[in-house]
Structure 1
C-alpha cells in the first residue's frame, strides 16, 4: 500500500474517474430520498447512504485498479467510503436540505401508503 488514499477523487490532479466518483457522491443523498419513504427512519436512510457510499468506493477502486494494473486494496476503499459518506452527509445538510432539494426528492420518490378506511375512522 503506497499512498492513502489511492483513489483519484482526493488527489491534487483529479482525473475523469475521480470527478465522476465525486459527482456520484454528491448525488447520493438525492437518490436515498427518491428510494425511501418520508416515514422511513433516519437511521435506515443513513445506513442506505453508507452502503451506497461503499458501493461507489469499491467500484471506483476496482476501476482504477483495472485501468492502472494496480493491486486492489481494501484499506483505501474503507478510507474512501468514510470520506464519501462524510461528503454526502455534508452536502445533504449543507446544501440540499436548506434549499428544499431533499424535500422535493422525498416527495417525488416512493410514497407512504395512504391511511386505510379503518385508520381514517379512528
Structure 2
C-alpha cells in the first residue's frame, strides 16, 4: 500500500512537471558557446547581448544559472543573444572582455558595453543589468 501511494505520488509529480515544461515560453533563451564571429555578428545587428564568463566548477555560476534562465525566458528578453565564455578553456576571450574571474556578466547594446557585474546572485540586480541591454 505504501509503495503504491509513493508510486502514484511520484507519477503525479512527474506529470505536473511535464505539463509545466510544455507551457514554458518558446522564446526562452539558452546560452550559446562563445565564438568571436557570432558575437561580432550579434553586435553588428544591434542585438541586445549578454556575455557570461562561466566555469562549470564555479558555485556562483551555478547559482546564477536558474536566475538567468528565469529572467531570459521573459518576453522582453526574447531577442537577447547569450554567449557563454568558458573561463578555463577560452582564456583569450576572457582577456578580451577584461574579466578577472568567472561569474562575470557583461551586457551590450550593439557594440557598446552597457554594464557588468561579478559574482552577483541577486535576481533584482541581474534583471537590472539585463535591462541595460534593451
Q: What range describes the TM-score normalised by the shorter chain of this pair? A: under 0.3
More strand by share: 2
Structure 2 length-normalised TM: 0.25
More helix by share: 1
Structure 1 length-normalised TM: 0.27
Return the structure number with greater relative CO, CA threshold 8 A, min gap 6: 1
